[in-house]
Structure 1
Amino acid sequence: MPGTPAVPIAGNRFCIVGGASLVGSATAGELLDHGAAEVVLFDNFAFGSDAAIEHLKDHPRLRLVRGDVMRMADLLRATEGMAGVLQLAAYMTLSMDRDPWGGLDVNIRGVQNALEACRANKVAKMVFASSNATYGYGPGVAGDLVEGTPFHSAGAPPAAILYGASKIIGEQLCRDAYRKWGQDYVVLRYSTVYGERQHYRAANALYIIETYDAVKRGEAPQVFGDGSETKHFVYVGDLARANRMAFESAATDVAVNASGPAPITTLELVKLVTQLAGGGPEPRFVGSEPGKVRLTSGGAFRIAHEEAFRAIGWKPEVDMAEGLRRLITWRERSNASGR
């Protein structure tokens, strides 16, 4: 309905910027399953992959558009006639470490470009994929991380701080667009995403994949430090549902966390992956690797998701054991088929 921030899925068209990705492909499937008239996956394939969208490529209501978030003309064509835009395109921490200037361009100017395209094409609502990196890293990150938690940067790797700061700026660009021309939006601060079609881009998600790979080779998986460090993951299917519900809800001008049911320590994670992979050697405790970006927190923390339930009616449903089971099942089927 015109004039309301709620955008029904059925019968509407959506563009996913950065769509050839783990979250993009899962969200496309979610929107199509709920009756979207068309879903456009917009990607330049710098980080996205054909493998991530292989299962969707023949869907009659899905369209793939190759384009770059840094080229306004590409975005204007891709978002024409869309009711909603999901802005996913971004450099993550590991990519930011390799190319900080490119990362700042995409994570800041790219978001502004997407917002300008939404304004030009009268897109009803944008959902922006932010991150729990907006709370920072290091000793100050502990306890319940709620939406008003300040940014902590002391002692963290520069790439991680650049990534988190770029997401903060992206959120403020959304707020600015809402205040200046009434562009409705919802910001979802994702915790670390994992699930089927897992990629190797996310620094924290590497714990899962590297542990699985080591166990399948018969090697001892590595645990950094004493294994007590906290991580908070969210299953990709839950996140796809959060993206859909953000469009459908009447919420606007809000930023909320989208995290999994509960945090987990690195030792618990490694043991769980080992068990689900069929067992293997006991984990090996190691120190940090020189030159490798690792994201650490100062103590036990939980990324609180209660505000997301109040704002858009969402809460996570898939716990870590079930999500990992699904990821490993997919991985083993992929390996068996030679993909």
Structure 2
Amino acid sequence: MSTVKRNAAAAVPIEGGRFMVIGGASLVGAATTAELLARGAAEVRLLDNFSFGSGEAIAHLRDDDRVKVVEADILKLHQLLQTMTGLDGVVHLAAFMTLSMDRDPWAGIDVNVRGVQNVLESCRVNAIRKLVFASSNAVYGYGPGVRGDLVEQTPFHSQGAPPAAILYGASKIMGEQLCRDAHRKNGQDYVILRYSTVYGERQHYRAANALYIVETHDAVQRGARPQVIGDGLETKHFVYVGDLARANCMALASDATDVAVNTSGPDPVTTLELVTMISEISGRPDLTPELVEPDPTKVRLTAGGAFRIDHAEAKNAIGWAPEVRMREGLRRLLAWRDAARAG
């Protein structure tokens, strides 16, 4: 899937278009909707079943009369068929992530596999011109095999990873293959974006790696030393939510189809570097990180060594590259959290 296929008919202009963001009441959903509106979309429908929280993430969007909030469930095909009429493109974000997969793997597999199948079937019936599917760098797995540059051809590694992480990565692989199958059988145009760990304004507590950010900020706010699991040298690769919102829109508007590309931030960081940056931005560089042993009762995502998620293919396919560096993105996120608490 590394060779970019082009099809002029696959390009869906944002201005004047009608779109649906599935899993819209989310961190990425809110940012993507705002980006679609800024680019002149005529209508954006936000579909969510609100099982992972309230509508607070999209409260700031409700006053725009181009935004329509649709409460529905992707596991109920008839609801999708009814609500996806008259659209030009769809961004599919709804999924169980690793922590929620750990709590309820059966439901997670249902949502992450059968849910994708239902979305694709509704795209077929409603003649949706293009689908953008949010996959993950979890398709490369975890453990000793995950090292060096991770590119679109890197295979899946599972040695030593917790079951929930393997199930999540495998479910994203299956979702990608369902998109390929729909293109092969029905001509459904699509672009798969393999997100690295997302962070940014409206950050929640549901992402295993992003917990490092919010829990560190919480600790610093209390005046406590932030904790780093292990020796602090473990690599993480984050991407700012605003950059992903741009990627979603650029994937829709591009003539690329039948392709999967990485969408990662500019550079990876170690957990020690990450926690240190958060303390510095929070004005407490004196709170030096405390190294602690892993808690065996908690799901923890680890890689075998230093790695970098290469995003060069995204530039080739949809013209995208990340713009926001980690320190600046953290500054924006922490400023938003401080303002939300004060408000």
* TM-score grouping bracket, smaller chain normalisation: over 0.9
Q: Which moved more, 1:48-57 or 1:230-239?
A: 48-57
Structure 1 residue 188: Cα displacement? 0.1
Provide the residue aligned with 1:323 in structure 2: 329
- The one-letter code of the counterpart of 2:147 is A
Return the match for 2:251 from 240, 246, 250.
246
Does residue 218 of the first structure (1) align with residue 226 of the second (2)? no
Provide the residue aligned with 2:213 in structure 1: 208
How many residues align structurally? 336
1:95-147 CA-partner distances (Å, limit 9, x unpaired): 00000000000000000000000000000000000000000000100000000
Provide the residue aligned with 2:64 in structure 1: 59
CA distance in 2, matches of 1:243, 1:78: 21
Return the match for 2:39 from 23, 34, 38.
34
Does residue 161 of the first structure (1) align with residue 149 of the second (2)? no
Does residue 195 of the first structure (1) align with residue 200 of the second (2)? yes
Provide the residue aligned with 1:295 in structure 2: 301
Provide the residue aligned with 1:68 in structure 2: 73
Unpaired segments of 5 or more residues in structure 1? none
Does residue 45 of the first structure (1) align with residue 55 of the second (2)? no
CA distance in 1, matches of 2:246, 2:16: 18
Provide the residue aligned with 2:103 in structure 1: 98
Structure 1 residue 290: Cα displacement? 2.3
CA distance in 2, matches of 1:48, 1:13: 26
CA distance in 2, matches of 1:319, 1:334: 23
Does residue 185 of the first structure (1) align with residue 190 of the second (2)? yes
Contact 1:5 1:124 in 2 (8 A): yes
Return the match for 2:237 from 207, 229, 232.
232
Provide the residue aligned with 2:3 in structure 1: none
CA distance in 1, matches of 2:82, 2:201: 30
- The one-letter code of the counterpart of 2:63 is D
SS of the aligned residue for 2:133 comes to strand
Report the RMSD for the aligned CA atoms in angstroms.
0.9
CA distance in 1, matches of 2:337, 2:322: 23
Structure 1 residue 60: Cα displacement? 1.1
Structure 1 residue 77: Cα displacement? 1.7
Provide the residue aligned with 1:312 in structure 2: 318
CA distance in 1, matches of 2:126, 2:238: 35
CA distance in 1, matches of 2:14, 2:82: 21
Unpaired segments of 5 or more residues in structure 2? 1-6
CA distance in 1, matches of 2:336, 2:62: 18
CA distance in 1, matches of 2:141, 2:191: 21
SS of the aligned residue for 1:262 comes to coil
- The one-letter code of the counterpart of 2:300 is R
SS of the aligned residue for 1:228 comes to coil
CA distance in 1, matches of 2:57, 2:212: 20
CA distance in 2, matches of 1:13, 1:291: 45
Does residue 335 of the first structure (1) align with residue 341 of the second (2)? yes
Return the match for 1:129 from 115, 134, 137.
134
Contact 2:8 2:255 in 1 (8 A): no
- The one-letter code of the counterpart of 2:314 is A
CA distance in 1, matches of 2:53, 2:17: 25
* Shift in alpha-carbon separation, 1:335–1:172, aligned structure 2, 3 A: same
- The one-letter code of the counterpart of 2:337 is R
SS of the aligned residue for 1:4 comes to helix
Give every structure 1 segment of 4 or more consecutive aligned residues whose post-TM-superposition deviation is greater than 3 Å: none
> With structure 2 as the length reference, what TM-score do the two structures score?
0.97
Report sequence identity in percent: 68
Does residue 266 of the first structure (1) align with residue 282 of the second (2)? no
Q: Which moved more, 1:80-89 or 1:40-49?
A: 40-49
Structure 1 residue 49: Cα displacement? 2.9
> With structure 1 as the length reference, what TM-score do the two structures score?
0.98
